[in-house]
Amino acid sequence: MAWEFRKLAPGENVAVETQRDPFAAPKWAPPVWHMPEGLVLLVNAVRVLVRTVVFLVRNIVPVSAASALAWSGYAYGWTVPVLVLALVGVGLGVWAAVDRPSFVRWIARPVRSWWRMAFVYRRHWQPVLVTAGLTKTHHGREYLPSLVRVRCSPTSDRVLVRMLKGQAPDAWERVAVNLAHGFGATLVRVRDGDRPGRVWLEFVRTDALAEPIPALPVPDASEVDLSGLMIGRCEDGSPWRLRLLGTHVLIAGATGAGKGSVIWSTIRALLPLMLSGLVEVWAIDPKRMELSFGRVLFERYGRYSSDPSGGMVKLLETAAEDMNERAERFAGLTRSFTPSAEFPFRVIVVDELAFLTAYCPERDLRKRAESALAVLTSQGRSVGYCVIGAQQDARKEVNNLRNLFPDRIALRLDEDEQVDMVLGDGARDRGALADQISSVPQIGAGVGFVRLETSPDPVRVRAAYVSDADIRQMVALALPDLDVEGAA
Ligand SMILES: Nc1ncnc2c1ncn2[C@@H]1O[C@H](COP(=O)(O)OP(=O)(O)OP(=O)(O)O)[C@@H](O)[C@H]1O
């Protein structure tokens, strides 16, 4: 039988049986190439060789160690490798006992990462990715994104992936749930990789913030950094540092989300500078709940108002006037603010912003509050004013000053669309699932998401819980002559 080749499309050549009759229907058949056996053997031998070299290079340390042991066993008898292994085991045990952090860093974590890379990720990589639809098949050949590196932490694994050419991170975000189930994680977040074409997948194995964090110790005055107050913990175990200098902070969270713990942890971290007169906290407390507990503290080291008939608005206006005076004094003299006894750093804490800007029955008071807040938030940053506003409802109609707060914290929210309203567009897609935080106080109160300056990816955090007893202890520290029980 004679065959001829026909070109159907670019790159697609098929063999067709040659027809003498020009009107006969064509008989298609795939081309069959007969390769000489020697060539087949050679190609397979080269493949095996390349794979072996790649394996040896990738696992150079364990392979060298195993080879050295095997060689010593062969040359000097089996007791030598056993003795060496026992000595290494004892050495590692001593290292772990003497300096655990360095042992974890240099031995335990890399070994665990290697283990999970080999036996969890590489093993299930192809089936999970095929099922999740992240591979492509073209002309019968399967293209699979490659696994570059795995880094383990006690609660999560970070997996660096080289995507297929033409793939974008949102393709991975869409199937994050499939990946989580496929690799046995509770959650997967997709983060930007170290260069274009790569993404980090963050597989969360256990919730590192499931346990409440007790109030942090009151720091020394020299340790207080207004650019990074320690108020809780991030999911990776590092401290959660909140910046107040040169910014304003909005805390959004449904009722019972733990806004109070963020506010009180911040005040606790500020306490030493309050006592030395470098920081004042002016508290506006429409709910008369959260802040009233520290009323004496604010009255002594700042100001306090819970008066709905104009007192709270007056306090805001006083702050705005004083801020304007400062701005005039500082104009042309200095551009960066350093707190002093004459010009202390003033933190204006408003427990429920929406009460002043939306719910207050008097229209005139609402307007005055809104304009004082707008002045403070738009101009106060460079002259030592910081507004911390808390609110339950993140919707625009309730608070249209939201954009004046550069730093925002999303605690548990009622609806998923509120997440992007608080943290900015795309935050929820990048993993800020603030609407899924548990409403059980023990597990979810004080848990939230923030965006740090260094990265667009939201970070999960938990504020330390400052209990009533802790607040009493703070008051006792600040006002030793006061009968704290009586004042509270
Ligand atoms: N960081 C935290 N860790 C553990 N539990 C917390 C934490 N913060 C708050 N809680 C618990 O959750 C409860 C509600 O917290 P909180 O009153 O601070 O919420 P909220 O957001 O201020 O609510 P609301 O807007 O109704 O005042 C508290 O009584 C406390 O028991």
**Model pLDDT, residue 356:** 85
**Model pLDDT, residue 155:** 86
**Model pLDDT, residue 131:** 96
* pTM of this structure: 0.77
**Model pLDDT, residue 451:** 83
Mention every residue, 6+ apart, whose C-beta is less than 8 A from residue 53: none
How many beta carbons lie within 10 A of that of residue 82, not counting itself?
A: 12
Asked if 69 and 84 count as a contact pair (C-beta separation under 8 A), the reply is yes
**Model pLDDT, residue 449:** 95
Alpha carbons 420 and 432: distance in angstroms, whole number:
9
**Model pLDDT, residue 488:** 46
Asked if 16 and 28 count as a contact pair (C-beta separation under 8 A), the reply is yes
SS3 percent helix, strand, coil of the chain, rounded to 5, is 45, 20, 35
Q: Whose CA is nearest to atom 12 of ligand 1?
A: 441
Q: Is 396 known as a binding-site position?
A: no
**Model pLDDT, residue 11:** 63
Domains and CATH numbers, the chain: 1-33 (no CATH), 34-81 (no CATH), 99-204 (3.30.980), 221-330+337-487 (3.40.50.300)
Q: Which residue has the tokens 């449904």?
A: 254
**Model pLDDT, residue 289:** 77
DSSP string, 402-435: GGG-SEEEE-S-SSTHHHHHHH-TTTTTTT--GG
445 Cβ below 6 A of ligand 1: yes
Q: Is 257 known as a binding-site position?
A: yes
**Model pLDDT, residue 293:** 82
**Model pLDDT, residue 36:** 84
Backbone torsion region of residue 425, taken as left when φ is above 0, otherwise alpha when ψ lies between -120 and 50, otherwise beta: beta
Q: Whose CA is nearest to atom 25 of ligand 1?
A: 255
Alpha carbons 235 and 431: distance in angstroms, whole number:
13
Residue 338: half-sphere exposure toward Cβ, Cα within 13 Å: 2
Q: Is 259 known as a binding-site position?
A: yes
Burial of 314 (0-12, 13-18, 19+ CB in 10 A): middle
Average pLDDT across each block of 10 residues of the chain; the chain has 488 residues. List them in order.
67 68 67 78 96 91 92 93 94 95 92 93 95 90 93 91 94 93 92 91 90 94 93 90 93 93 96 94 87 89 89 93 89 78 93 84 86 91 92 72 87 91 86 90 94 79 95 90 58
**Model pLDDT, residue 37:** 87
Q: Is 258 known as a binding-site position?
A: yes
351 Cβ below 6 A of ligand 1: no
Ligand 1 centroid vs 265 CA: distance in angstroms?
Answer: 12
